C-alpha cells in the first residue's frame, strides 16, 4: 500500500484539487480510479501503460486516465511509500511540456519547503 | 484547510452517479493490470497476442491502459488464446486500510470498509486471480508461483 498526498503549496493552494474540481464527473471518476490503483499497487502500474516515468526524472511519474494526466512524485525520503500529486491536466500535445515544467517547478518548491 | 485524496473520494462516492462512473473505471483498471500481468507471465508480446486474436496491437495496448471497454466474452477469448481463463471475485469499492500495516492486513485477510448508501459493511476476500485452463501447463506453474509471491 502506498500513501497519496495532494501537494499543498506554501500559500495553501492544492493544484491537483483545483484541477479535479474543474473536471466533469466522468473524467474525475476515471482519474480517481487510477489514483486509487496507484495507492494500492504503486509502481506495479509501470507494467501497464497507465503509469510512465517522466523523461529525465528519476522519481517523477505521469499517471494516465482517459485524457487526464496527473504528475506524481515518488518521495523516497519518506518511509511510507508516498506519492505526492503535483499537478493535473488534460492531454493536449502543445501543453504537455508546459505542464510537466510546471510540475518540475512545484517539485522544486516541495523539496525546498 | 487541505483536502486529502481519501476524504475527497469517500465524499464523492456518496453521489451514486459518480460511484457508477468510478466503478466502471475501476473495473477497467483492474482488468488492465490482470491482462498485462498475465501476458507478461506467459511471455507473449502485445503484437503476438493481437495476431492470435486477429485484432490490432493498439487494441491490446488500449486494454492494458484501462481505457477499453471489452465484453466479458472478448476477455474470455483473449485469455483463452494464451491458455487462461478469467476467475472473478468482488472486493470493497474502496478500502479504508491505509492506516493498517501490511502485517495487519495479512492477518485480517481482508479489508474492512464502509460504503455509505451503496452497501453494508463487509469483509471480502481480496484476491482476483487468473487461473490456468490447462491443469498441467507451464503457464499454471508460473501463475501459481506469481500468486504466491
Separation of alpha carbons A73 and A16, rounded Å: 13
Mean pLDDT of A47-64: 93
Separation of alpha carbons B143 and B148, rounded Å: 8
pLDDT at B126: 28
Q: With bands split at pLDDT 50, 70 and 90, how would you rate the model's confidence at B102?
A: very low
* DSSP H/E element including B24: helix B16-41
Q: Which of these ranges, B86-90, B109-113, B131-135, B141-145, has the smallest mean pLDDT?
A: B109-113
Provide the 3-class DSSP secondary structure of residue B148: coil
Q: Most A CBs within 10 Å: which of B5, B46, B97, as the mutation test of the A interface?
A: B5
Provide the 3-class DSSP secondary structure of residue B121: strand
A10 close contact with B: CB closer than 8 A: no
- Say if CB A32 and CB B9 are below 8 A apart: yes
Q: With bands split at pLDDT 50, 70 and 90, how would you rate the model's confidence at A68?
A: very high
pLDDT tens-digit map of B1-10: 799 999 999 9
Q: With bands split at pLDDT 50, 70 and 90, how would you rate the model's confidence at A104?
A: very high
Provide the 3-class DSSP secondary structure of residue A11: coil
pTM over 0.90: no
Q: Is the pLDDT of residue B59 over 90?
A: yes
Sorted by where each starts, the structural domains of chain A and their CATH numbers stand as 3-111 (3.30.2310.20)
Task: State the cell numbers at A98.
Answer: 508546459
Closest partner CB to A36 (pick from B2, B26, B105): B26
Q: With bands split at pLDDT 50, 70 and 90, how would you rate the model's confidence at B138?
A: low
pLDDT at B9: 96
Separation of alpha carbons A46 and A52, rounded Å: 6
More confident call, B133 vs B9: B9
Mean pLDDT of A43-64: 93
Q: Is the pLDDT of residue B96 over 70?
A: no
Q: Which of these ranges, A80-94, B73-87, B129-143, has the smallest mean pLDDT?
A: B129-143
Cβ of A36 within 8 Å of Cβ of B94? The answer is yes
* DSSP H/E element including B21: helix B16-41
Q: Is the pLDDT of residue B28 over 90?
A: yes
Mean pLDDT of B19-44: 95
ipTM above 0.90, yes or no: yes
- Between helix B138-147 and helix B16-41 the angle, nearest 10°, is 130
Mean pLDDT of B75-93: 93
> Residue A26: closest CA among chain B residues belongs to which residue?
B21
- Say if CB B14 and CB B116 are below 8 A apart: yes
Strands B84-86 and A82-90: unpaired
Q: Is the dihedral of CA A76, A78, A81, A82 positive or negative?
A: negative
Q: Is the pLDDT of residue B145 over 80?
A: no
Buried b (16+ CB within 10 A) or exposed e, A49-73: bbbeebeeeeebbbbbbbebbbbbb
**Which DSSP string do the residues of A29-91 spell out, in sequence order?**
HHHHHHHHHHHHHGGGGGGSSSEEEPTT-TTEEEEEETTEEEEEEEETTSSS-EEEEEEEEE-
Q: Is the dihedral of CA A64, A36, B71, B20 positive or negative?
A: negative
Contacts by B108-115, CB closer than 8 A, 24 or more apart = B115/B13
Cβ of B66 within 8 Å of Cβ of A48? The answer is yes
Cβ of A37 within 8 Å of Cβ of B102? The answer is no
Residue B112: half-sphere exposure toward Cβ, Cα within 13 Å: 7
Amino acid at each position: 500500500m502506498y500513501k497519496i498526498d495532494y501537494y499543498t503549496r506554501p500559500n495553501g493552494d492544492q493544484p491537483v484539487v483545483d484541477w479535479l474540481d474543474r473536471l466533469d464527473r466522468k473524467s474525475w471518476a476515471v482519474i480517481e480510479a487510477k489514483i486509487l490503483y496507484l495507492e494500492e499497487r504503486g509502481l506495479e502500474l509501470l507494467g501497464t501503460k497507465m503509469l510512465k516515468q517522466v523523461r529525465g526524472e528519476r522519481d517523477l511519474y505521469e499517471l494516465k486516465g482517459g485524457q487526464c494526466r496527473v504528475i506524481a512524485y515518488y518521495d523516497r525520503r519518506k518511509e511510507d511509500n508516498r506519492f505526492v500529486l503535483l499537478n493535473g491536466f488534460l492531454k493536449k500535445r502543445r501543453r504537455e511540456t508546459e505542464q510537466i515544467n510546471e510540475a518540475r517547478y512545484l517539485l522544486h518548491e516541495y523539496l525546498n519547503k | 484547510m487541505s483536502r486529502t485524496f481519501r476524504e475527497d473520494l469517500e465524499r464523492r462516492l456518496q453521489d451514486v452517479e459518480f460511484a457508477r462512473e468510478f466503478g466502471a473505471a475501476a473495473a477497467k483498471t483492474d482488468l488492465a493490470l490482470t491482462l498485462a500481468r498475465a501476458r507478461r507471465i506467459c511471455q507473449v508480446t502485445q503484437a503476438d497476442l493481437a495476431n492470435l486474436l486477429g485484432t490490432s496491437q493498439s487494441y491490446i495496448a488500449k486494454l492494458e491502459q484501462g481505457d477499453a471497454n471489452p465484453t466479458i466474452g472478448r476477455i474470455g477469448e483473449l485469455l483463452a488464446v494464451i491458455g487462461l481463463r478469467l476467475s472473478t471475485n468482488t472486493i470493497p469499492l474502496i478500502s479504508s486500510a491505509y492506516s493498517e500495516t501490511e502485517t495487519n492486513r495479512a492477518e485480517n485477510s481482508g479489508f474492512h470498509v464502509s460504503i455509505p448508501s451503496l452497501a453494508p459493511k463487509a469483509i471480502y476476500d481480496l484476491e482476483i486471480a487468473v487461473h490456468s485452463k490447462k491443469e498441467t501447463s507451464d503457464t499454471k506453474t508460473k501463475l501459481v508461483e506469481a500468486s504466491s509471491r
